[in-house]
């Protein structure tokens, strides 16, 4: 079973994800799609990628959200409908498992598929899709998973878009003497098996994906999409620091005292509005030949 995520954390990070994703790659994907595109959103969570990317496509479109978490899937439907209605766009449910967002450029038809992505791509309806997309997913998967996905997409000439893949470059400011220790432990945690059939790619994800799709003749485009979080985002910087430190503790037990001091210091700095954070990410778009 692949690793899941907390819905509140996904909601908390959504505005930072939206600010970070590369706009040019979003437009390049939109231009490569047919008139009424069908998109598979892998690891859809609360639907944040749909809420962001659909506006760049800006025409009638159909989405299939794929996630193993039924609670997140239900939350995604509700959140997409609520956000649409909040800006004066009607949202209707023509069926129990279908949402229509009546956007000005054309309706968004949204459906859900409950499935464990560890089994992808075999269980995905790729024959009914025009692109495969994801956000903050592909640094969790294994190299073998990427190879299978690249081959499956190439067989159907499908574009593949993966946003917000970690690069291994993080900066917490001001400096702390345990920064390198925490970074080392966190990097080890990023590479543990996340349930996708092997060691997680972590910061290697962009290069591994690029090589896998290029081997099938794809044109691969990459762009930075770092989180840049200033010290005014007190709660978010505190959550990021806590997550990094806690993950590092599991791998650096000999440095536990130093890491615990790092966590306490960073949490206090965040609460006082003194901590800023930059987390390196990269977006990737693979376009099939021709």
Q: Per residue of the chain (290 residues), give pLDDT as tens.
A: 445 567 899 999 999 999 999 999 999 999 999 999 999 999 999 999 999 999 999 999 999 999 999 999 999 999 999 999 999 999 999 987 899 999 999 999 999 999 999 999 999 999 999 999 999 999 999 999 999 999 999 999 999 999 999 999 999 999 999 999 999 999 999 999 999 999 999 999 999 999 999 999 999 999 999 999 999 999 999 999 999 999 999 999 999 999 999 999 999 999 999 999 999 999 999 999 98
Query: Tokens 């990410």 identify what position?
Result: 281
Alpha carbon 263 to chain centroid, angstroms: 25
Are 82 and 96 spatial neighbours (Cβ–Cβ below 8 Å)?
no
Q: Pick from 130, 245, 128: which is nearest to 176 by CA? A: 245
Q: Would you state the pLDDT for residue 261?
A: 98
143, 196 in Cβ contact below 8 A? no
Domain boundaries, the chain: 7-170+197-228+280-287
* Max Cα distance, the chain (Å): 58
For residue 253, count CB atoms less than 10 angstroms from its CB and return exposed for 0-12, middle for 13-18, buried for 19 or more. exposed
Residue 1: its pLDDT value, please?
44
Quote the CA–CA distance of 232 and 272 in Å, as a whole number.
Answer: 9
Class of domain 7-170+197-228+280-287: alpha beta
């Amino acid at each position: 079973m692949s690793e899941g995520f907390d819905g509140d954390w996904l909601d908390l990070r959504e505005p930072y994800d939206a600010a970070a994703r590369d706009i040019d790659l979003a437009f390049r994907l939109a231009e490569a799609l047919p008139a009424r595109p069908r998109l598979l959103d892998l690891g859809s969570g609360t639907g944040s990628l749909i809420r962001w990317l659909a506006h760049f496509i800006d025409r009638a479109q159909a989405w299939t959200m794929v996630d193993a978490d039924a609670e997140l899937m239900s939350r995604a439907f509700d959140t997409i409908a609520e956000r649409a209605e909040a800006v004066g766009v009607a949202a209707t449910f023509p069926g129990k498992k279908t949402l229509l967002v009546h956007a000005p450029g054309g309706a968004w038809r949204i459906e859900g598929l409950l499935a464990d992505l560890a089994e992808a791509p075999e269980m995905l309806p790729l024959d009914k899709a025009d692109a495969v997309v994801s956000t903050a997913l592909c640094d969790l998967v294994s190299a073998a998973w990427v190879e299978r996905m690249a081959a499956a997409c190439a067989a159907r000439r499908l574009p593949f878009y993966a946003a917000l893949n970690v690069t291994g470059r993080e900066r917490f400011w001001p400096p702390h003497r345990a920064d390198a220790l925490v970074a080392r432990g966190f990097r080890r945690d990023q590479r543990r098996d996340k349930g996708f059939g092997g060691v997680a790619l972590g910061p290697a994800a962009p290069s591994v994906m690029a090589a896998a799709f290029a081997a099938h003749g794809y044109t691969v485009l990459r762009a930075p999409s770092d989180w840049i979080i200033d010290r005014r985002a007190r709660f978010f910087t505190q959550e990021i620091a806590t997550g990094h430190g806690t993950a590092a503790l599991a791998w650096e037990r000999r440095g536990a005292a130093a890491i615990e001091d790092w966590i306490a210091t960073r949490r206090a700095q965040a609460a006082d509005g003194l901590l800023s954070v930059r987390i390196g990410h990269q977006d990737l778009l693979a376009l099939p030949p021709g």
